Amino acid sequence: MSAIHERRYRLQREREIAQTRVRETTAQYLQRYEQILHDLSAQDLQQYVSIDVQELKAQLLQLSSGLQSDAFQARELSLQIGQRIHALPRLARQARDIAIENERLEVLERERQAQEQRRKEYEKLEQAWQLAWSSWTDKWARNLALNELSELRKCIFVENSPYTAPQIQQEMAKIQQSAEQQVAIKRQQVEQDAQHEAAQTLTNQLMQDIEVANLPVAMTEQLTQQITAALQQPETLTAQFQALAQQADQAMVDESIRREMVKAVCQSLKHAGFTVLSPTRSKDEHQDVVLIQAKRPSGNQARFKIELDGKVRYEFDSYKGQACKEDMQQVLPRLADVYGVNLSEERVIWSNPDDEHEDMKPITPHNTRHH
């Protein structure tokens, strides 16, 4: 009986010793597990594995209470916890790194989105600016407003610009209107100055033309005085120039016509057999006459006086009988037929059809226009 009793006692004792050893070992592991959770909290890693931490804390409480009731069951739970809790710091650090990287990428994405938004807003503002700018067809007005536009642009294209597209167009329209009004005044003044300068240049040229045109003295003096007076009145110079130019042109045209008339008379007289002397011009304040003298070897003479206003006075003298009329019929019709000189408004001052007296000289004046 005693042998069997002693053996039972030894088996019971061994189990108690084993439970005590397991309890102590598991308690040590429990402390390590709690230290791991404490370190996670101290390193601010707990937030990245918060669910795992909550579950593990619950298991650690269960483990702590189970140590007293059943050490062996507690050890089984400890083994489960240990495998999970030792991996937790690594998982927490990985989760932290992922969260940090995610935050960095989110920051970048937010910045990209913000930049994209700013770019779109900038494009809208730029489109509004360019649309308003393209309506400025007056380059002078644009140049005049560049400084003001530059200041406006500095205010518009800034971070968080308060401007909208309609506001940009409105502000630019105000600047454009003001610039174009200023330019209109400037352009009008420039045009007036240019017209005055042109009129002054033409007037000075006209005066030079008159000086070399060899017009009658009285007419030259009159035109010169009128031009000098006009130059002293800039505000009416342009209007006066046209009248002066027409007057001077007419005088120079009349002189050109007279030159043609002189040439035609000389040629007609030569064709009729006269010897023609070089024409002479008599010019003073009261008259401007070109004298053409011609004669035959027989003594017959012809004289033409051609005035600037188209009047021609001719004389055929020193003739006997009807010879005077015959020479006139050779010279005068040829002026019309060959040279296009139209003699009109004939007025006979004196005539001696028979030329009986040598001291009587026929003088027949005409008004003429050369065509």
Following CA atoms 38, 44, 45, 48 in sequence, which dihedral angle do they give, to the nearest 10 degrees? 130
Helix, strand, coil share of the chain (percent; to 5): 70, 10, 20
Which CATH class, in words, describes the domain spanning 255-370? alpha beta
Q: Is 20 exposed, middle or buried (0-12, 13-18, 19+ CB in 10 A)?
A: exposed
**Predicted TM-score of the model (pTM):** 0.43
Looking at per-residue pLDDT, the higher value among 327 and 144 belongs to 144
Q: How many CB atoms lie within 10 A of CB 115?
A: 11
Angstrom distance (rounded) from CA 339 to CA 312 = 15
The pLDDT value given to residue 371: 40
- Asked whether residue 210 carries a pLDDT value surpassing 80, the answer given is no
Q: Choose among 323, 301, 326, 299: nearest CA to 314.
A: 301
**pLDDT score at 9:** 54
213 and 259 in contact (C-beta within 8 Å)?
no
Q: Is the pLDDT of residue 39 over 50?
A: yes
pLDDT for residue 237 is more than 80: no
Cα distance between residue 60 and residue 81, in whole Å? 8
Q: What mean pLDDT is predicted for residues 190-208?
A: 74
Instruction: Tell me the C-alpha to C-alpha distance, in Å, between residue 233 and each of 110, 186, 199, 204, 239.
Output: 75, 22, 12, 14, 11
Strand-pair partners of 365: 313
How much is the pLDDT for 362?
37
- Residue 304's H or E segment, with its range, is strand 301-307
Residue indicated by tokens 């006009």 = 230
Is the pLDDT confidence value at 204 over 60?
Answer: yes
Predicted local distance difference test score (pLDDT) of residue 293: 92
Lowest mean pLDDT among 87-91, 141-145, 311-315, 346-350: 346-350
Those residues whose C-beta lies under 8 Å from the C-beta of residue 310, and which sit 6 or more positions away, are 254, 257, 258, 367, 368, 369, 370
pLDDT interval class at 116 (50, 70, 90) = confident
Question: Tens of pLDDT along 50-97?
Answer: 899 898 889 889 888 888 888 888 888 888 888 888 888 998 899 899
Banded pLDDT at 363 (limits 50, 70, 90):
very low
The string of DSSP letters for 204-256 reads HHHHHHHHHTT--HHHHHHHHHHHHHHHT-GGGHHHHHHHHHHHHHHHHHHHH
Q: Which amino acid is at 217?
A: V
